[in-house]
Amino acid sequence: MRPLLRTSGRPVVVTNAGHGLGREIALMLAKRRSIVFGTAGSAQEVEDLRSASSGRVSLIACDMQQTQMVNAWAAGVSEAIGKSGLDLLINTAVHLPSGPLELLPLEEVRRGFEANVFGGLAVINAFLPALRMAQGRIVQISSSARDEPQPFDGPSDASQAAVEAFSAAYRAELKPFGIDVVIASMCDLEATSTGPTNDLTRLDDSMTAAQRKLYGKLLRVWMKKLSEGEALGDSVTAAARVLDLAVQSQVPVKAEIDTRA
C-alpha cells in the first residue's frame, strides 16, 4: 500500500490560489509547513498571501490563458524544487461568467475555457517531469458532482465536464509512472465563492426590458438560492476536506466533497 502522502517540508503547487478555495488550501498547506508555489490573478493577491502565510506561500500573478506564461512559471518552480520533484499539484478553477447562455458574450465563455480547460492542461503538462520524479499526485477540483447542469451556470458546468474527461485520460496515461489523478468534486462549489451571485446581480441590473421579461423572474429565484448556499458553504471546511483527500494513502478516482461545515 502506498504510504500517506507527506506534505510537511515538501513542495506543493496550487493554481488560482489568490482567493477563495485555492487561497484557503494554500494557507492550510503553509501551516503544515509545506513549500507552496502557486498562481494568483493579481499582484495584490500575491502580496496578500505572502503576508498571510509569513512568506511560506510563493505566488506569481499568472494569466492562465497564456500558455507561455504558464510554462515559464512552471519551469521556474521546477528548477527551484530540483531533483526532489513535485509531490502534489492541486488544480483549482477560475470563476466563469454566470447568466443565461443567450445573454453571455461568447468571447467571455471562450476566455473561461482558455483559463480552466487549456490552462489546466498547460499546468499539468508543464509539471509532469517534476511529478514523475516524486511519483506525485494531481488533485483536480471540479464542480460537476451535480446530476444535471444548473440554470445560468452552463459555462462552468461545460468546462468542468471537459476537465473531468481530460483527468480521466491523464489517470490512465500516468498510472504507469506512479502518478495518481483524483477528482475532488463539489456540487456546491459555488458556495465557496460570491462570484456567481455577483455576476447575476450585475446582469439583473443591466438587462433590457425585453431580457427582463424573458429571464428576470427565474434569475431572481436563482440568485436567492445561490445566496442561501453561500451562507451555508464554508471555503475553510472545503479546503480541509480537499487536503484530507489529497494526502490519503489510497485515493479514489473521484470523491465528492461537502463544503458545508
Indicate the length of the chain as a whole number.
261
Residue 123 lies in a domain: yes
Classify residue 126: in a domain, yes or no: yes
- Higher-confidence residue: 201 or 63? 63
Residue 180, domain extent: 11-193+235-255
- Kindly state whether residue 6 falls inside one of the protein's structural domains: no
pLDDT of residue 51 exceeding 50: yes
Query: Hey, which residues does 72 pair with through a beta bridge?
Result: none
Q: Of residues 4 and 118, which shows the higher confidence score? A: 118
Nearest by Cα to 14 from 48, 57, 46:
57
Across 177-189, average pLDDT: 85
Q: Give 260's DSSP letter.
A: B
DSSP three-state, residue 243:
helix
Lowest mean pLDDT among 42-51, 143-152, 188-197, 208-217: 188-197
**CA–CA dist 239, 22 (Å, integer):** 8
- How many structural domains does the chain have? 1
Domain assignment present for residue 25? The answer is: yes
Rounded average pLDDT over 173-190: 86
Please report whether residue 245 resides in a domain. Answer: yes
Residue (of 19, 5, 133, 126) closest to 77 by Cα position: 126
Rounded to whole angstroms, how far apart are CA atoms 245 and 54? 25
Count the Cβ atoms, other than its own, within 10 Å of residue 98.
27
Grid cell at residue 229: 448556499
First to last CA, the chain: 31
List the CATH number of the domain containing 174: 3.40.50.720
Q: Return the percentage of the chain with pLDDT > 70, whole number.
A: 90
Residue 216 vs residue 192, higher pLDDT: 216
Assigned domain for 71 exists: yes
53 lies in some domain: yes
Q: What is the pLDDT of residues 72-124, one digit of tens each?
A: 999 999 999 999 999 999 999 877 888 899 988 899 899 889 989 999 999 99
Considering the domain boundaries, does residue 105 fall inside one?
A: yes
